[in-house]
Amino acid sequence: MSETASATPLSAADVALFNKWWHAANYLSIAQIYLLANPLLREPLKLEHTKPRLLGHWGTTPGLNFLYLHLNRIIREQDRSILFVAGPGHGAPGVVASTYLEGTYSEYFPEVTQDADGLARLVKQFSFPGGIPSHAAPTTPGSINEGGELGYSLSHSYGAVFDNPDLIVACVVGDGEAETGPLATSWHSNKFLDPKTDGAVLPILHLNGYKIANPTVLARISPEELLSLFRGYGYDPIVVEGDDPDTMHQKMAVAMDTAFAAISKIQKAAREDNDTTRPMWPMIIMRTPKGWTCPKTVDGLRTEGYWRAHQVPITDLTKPEHLKLLDTWLHSYKPEELFDENGTLMPEIAALAPKGERRMSMNPHANGGLLRRDLRLPDVTEYAVPVSSPGHELGEATRVLGSWLRDVMKENLSSRNFRVLAPDENNSNRLNAVLDVTNRAWNAETFDYDDRLAVDGHVMEILSEHTCQGWLEGYLLTGRHGFMSCYEAFIHIVDSMVNQHAKWIKQADEVSWRAPIASLNYLLTSHVWRQDHNGFSHQDPGFIDHVLNKKAKTVRVYLPPDANTLLCTAKTCLESRDRVNVIVAGKQPEPQWLDMESAIAHCAKGIGIWEWASNDKGGDPDVVMACAGDVPTMETLAAVQLLNKHLPDLKIRVINVVDLLTLESKSQHPDGLEDYVFDSLFTTDKPVIFAFHGYPALIHKLVYKRTNCRNFHVHGYREEGSTTTPFDMTVRNHLDRFHLVQNVIRHVPGLASRAAYANQAIADKLVEHTHYVAQYGKDLPEIVNWRWS
């Protein structure tokens, strides 16, 4: 541990000036929370100058302002490229105030000028209808971390510095946020960082002791435990503790100097002496009172340094004594010494801000779309699986994709802007070809028998979906590209993170100065239909349902039925911007349907009739057999073959859906088919037997506005699973060929009477299947060896 020395690197004049900046930032923070007008208190404060509803979080704000100021000193003195990530919840008053003081806010939002009028706009908009939220958001200059839902600041920060050797992210972690699971494990990100080719994260644990209504765990363990914990996480903590501002400025200056010197030393050793051994990275633990510098008590009740300072310390301004207390509090920062008569920050204070893009709020990495360079994507046709005729060959879709991803990695390796991530599942998901051209990132201990671990690897694996997701988000938000694979059932672990990212994308799209970023791309594999071996706990196709609640413009769901369609889909996803793309595809050997030319055409439309499998040429079908997903497609085609055999006169149209959102109405989703197109595919009155990868009700939800919606009969996952065979999974959920045939017979008018023999054959076959599986533990050879013909 580096003890905080009692050195005094700052002159008395420095300290005085630092206090002025800090006072200005604190003053503007409080003004944002409380004031609707009269921002500089040039009139006596009256109730009508205050907001009708007091919102915002003072508690963490003075600490954030303090840190921002001290980071600015480092930038000025050392010409560093630093990003500020505010982990504590609802810290926007401070971040916005600081970015205003350094001028960025006025550059991005020209109406918020550097004068009294601008200040009035600044304070009014905060937590005000049509204004800005109380936490760092896409509207906040310099932010890549939404401070609404907590837990992701540190993984975002590491994501930002991967492949950005000159960038340092100062990540403030709140002691509330630190209790979340995602944050608790993300400290280990230092084992995945290359001091040579990556930048650095300086974590700053902000111990102010309280959450909304409770003390925090980390503030109430012994100093020994606290230091031990962070050393165990692999950091070298520097403690800065106190409440006297002048002393604290000196301590923090020493701590910052120490931390940045340590970073420089580590990076120098790695970059000049090639010593990439994992170092103990510095971190700062800052312990200050909650709501530092607010009234000690309000109505006689403890406030500063207590949970009552978490949000709004003075709550009822209709009480004259509260209004007076607010007035006194605001005046304690002496605004008249901070802003000139125009309401412009005094030049000597303003001079504490770095210049141009060195300002943390103007750092281009925080508006990553500006830095984004398109990936070089190899031509997918060169990776095509040969398909001599539909369904003839078998292929492992994700393994084929792996070859293409390998070359995406290879083509872009020199740009260092593409990473592949998985929660310890990259090989299990059969993307291992990527490891032919790069390694797994790993900077913990290695042994000579280790397999493709390297400090500069570009495949990221940790058994934490949260950390993978956080890294990827940070990487994308700073202008790079990525691809994450995951077992389908367990992607729900990051439901809430994808929510927040989708919301970020939607909001950023509404902020004029934010440039589009690369999409968040998921490959969900080891999916529900091939989790027969792992059983019920591994079976859940509901992530699709989850993402479809997000704003239509932002989300896409693809269900490519084979390898070539998967290749086309993956390319589309890596080319797209500002989206969350979900691809679901299996990793097991499955029949291949489309040659590359057909795959390209099919994926371009996203949905289409498979003429080669249909026999309704030139006329109306008796039934539409629709399918979405690889296993449902196979079962549908097997059902068609059975129907062709038993009921050769039946006119069947086969439709395959790759882009699930084509089913939705055009008014609901940009990919939605026009009604007349939909009707031309699905008819307006014929039964549609739909074999779907996920929960059946999702299809009903998508098509409820369509003319023929009442004739849709959807087969999908009915939450029935067990440890069983692949085909038995479909049988248990009625997605199998036999149940599909039975449903065709049930719903095509007049067919039942003609289909007695077929019905009996099907029923017999289901019984035979069940007995065979129970006895031999595998599927009937005719099922395993089935091919379309």
- Identify residues 109-128 at the interface with its own copies (CB under 8 A): 127-128
Site for its own copies in 521-540 (CB under 8 A): 533-538, 540
Q: Which of 24, 28, 119, 183 binds its own copies (CB under 8 A)?
A: 183
For residues 169 and 731, which CB has a smaller minimum distance to its own copies in the complex? 731
Please tell me whether residue 191 binds its own copies under the rule CB under 8 A.
yes
For residues 39 and 176, which CB has a smaller minimum distance to its own copies in the complex? 176
CB of 649 to its own copies, least distance (A): 30
Site for its own copies in 412-471 (CB under 8 A): 424-428, 440, 442, 444-446, 449-451, 453, 461-467
E-strand ranges in 35-89 read: 81-86
Nearest to 23 by CA among 340, 338, 354, 346: 338
Q: CA 621, 623, 627 angle in degrees (round to 5)? A: 115
Q: Which amino acid is at 692?
A: F
Phi-psi region of 192 (alpha: psi -120 to 50; beta: other; left: phi over 0): alpha
For residues 103 and 234, which CB has a smaller minimum distance to its own copies in the complex? 234
Site for its own copies in 381-410 (CB under 8 A): none
Q: Angle of helix 12-34 relative to helix 116-125, nearest 10 degrees? A: 60
Please tell me whether residue 132 binds its own copies under the rule CB under 8 A.
yes
Please tell me whether residue 249 binds its own copies under the rule CB under 8 A.
no
641: Cβ contacts below 8 Å, ≥ 6 apart: 788, 789
| Chain-centroid distance, C-alpha 50 | 37
For residues 12 and 213, which CB has a smaller minimum distance to its own copies in the complex? 213
| Chain-centroid distance, C-alpha 562 | 27
Q: Contact region for its own copies (CB under 8 A) — 73-81, 177-185, 252-260, 748-756?
A: 177-185
CB of 601 to its own copies, least distance (A): 30
Give the C-alpha separation, 569 to 659, whole Å: 9
Please tell me what DSSP assigns to residue 279. P
Q: Contact region for its own copies (CB under 8 A) — 283-291, 492-500, 639-647, 675-683?
A: 492-500
Q: Which of 302, 324, 355, 376 binds its own copies (CB under 8 A)?
A: 302
CB of 533 to its own copies, least distance (A): 5
Give the C-alpha separation, 105 to 353, whole Å: 13
CB of 319 to its own copies, least distance (A): 19
Site for its own copies in 688-707 (CB under 8 A): 695, 697-698, 700-701, 704
For residues 203 and 390, which CB has a smaller minimum distance to its own copies in the complex? 203
Nearest to 21 by CA among 513, 351, 388: 351
Tokens of 410: 């290879």
Please tell me whether residue 184 binds its own copies under the rule CB under 8 A.
yes
Q: Which of 358, 577, 778, 787 binds its own copies (CB under 8 A)?
A: 778
For residues 181 and 386, which CB has a smaller minimum distance to its own copies in the complex? 181
Please tell me whether residue 233 binds its own copies under the rule CB under 8 A.
yes
For residues 369 and 542, which CB has a smaller minimum distance to its own copies in the complex? 542
Please tell me whether residue 767 binds its own copies under the rule CB under 8 A.
no
CB of 593 to its own copies, least distance (A): 26
CB of 711 to its own copies, least distance (A): 12
Please tell me whether residue 283 binds its own copies under the rule CB under 8 A.
no
For residues 131 and 516, which CB has a smaller minimum distance to its own copies in the complex? 131
Q: Which of 216, 572, 588, 633 binds its own copies (CB under 8 A)?
A: 216
Residues in the chain: 789
Q: Which amino acid is at 448?
A: D
For residues 446 and 760, which CB has a smaller minimum distance to its own copies in the complex? 446
Please tell me whether residue 500 binds its own copies under the rule CB under 8 A.
yes
Q: Which of 1, 47, 212, 261 binds its own copies (CB under 8 A)?
A: 212
CA dihedral (505, 506, 509, 510) in degrees, to 10, reads -140
Nearest to 170 by CA among 442, 361, 413: 361
Contact 375, 481 (CB under 8 A): yes
For residues 180 and 598, which CB has a smaller minimum distance to its own copies in the complex? 180
Give the C-alpha separation, 572 to 721, whole Å: 33
Q: Contact region for its own copies (CB under 8 A) — 65-73, 99-107, 205-213, 252-260?
A: 205-213
Please tell me what DSSP assigns to residue 609. E
Q: CA 134, 136, 142 angle in degrees (round to 5)? A: 145
Burial class (CB within 10 angstroms; exposed 0-12, middle 13-18, buried 19+) of 309: buried
Q: Contact region for its own copies (CB under 8 A) — 221-229, 243-251, 253-261, 556-564?
A: 221-229
Contact 43, 333 (CB under 8 A): no
Burial class (CB within 10 angstroms; exposed 0-12, middle 13-18, buried 19+) of 743: buried
Q: Which of 63, 91, 141, 151 binds its own copies (CB under 8 A)?
A: 151
Please measure the distance between the N-terminal and C-terminal CA atoms of the chain and give it in whole angstroms.
71
**Total chain residues near its own copies (CB under 8 A):** 121
CB of 382 to its own copies, least distance (A): 28
Residue holding tokens 């479809």? 548
Nearest to 507 by CA among 136, 243, 100: 136
Site for its own copies in 704-743 (CB under 8 A): 704, 709-710, 719, 722-725, 728
Query: How do the residues of the chain divide into helix, strand and coil, expressed in percent and rounded to 5?
Result: 45, 15, 40
Nearest to 80 by CA among 337, 354, 283, 339: 354
Please tell me whether residue 145 binds its own copies under the rule CB under 8 A.
no
For residues 336 and 495, which CB has a smaller minimum distance to its own copies in the complex? 495
Q: Contact region for its own copies (CB under 8 A) — 60-68, 96-104, 227-235, 645-653?
A: 227-235
Q: Which amino acid is at 531?
A: Q
CB of 688 to its own copies, least distance (A): 13
Site for its own copies in 62-101 (CB under 8 A): 90
For residues 27 and 306, which CB has a smaller minimum distance to its own copies in the complex? 306
Contact 266, 281 (CB under 8 A): yes
For residues 381 and 439, which CB has a smaller minimum distance to its own copies in the complex? 439
Contact 67, 204 (CB under 8 A): yes
- From residue 572 to residue 591, the character string flagging contacts with its own copies as x (rule: CB under 8 A) and all else as - is --------------------
Tokens of 394: 């078998």
Tell me the H-state helices in 79-161.
Answer: 92-101, 104-108, 116-125, 153-161
Number of C-beta neighbours around residue 176 at 10 A: 27
CB of 157 to its own copies, least distance (A): 16
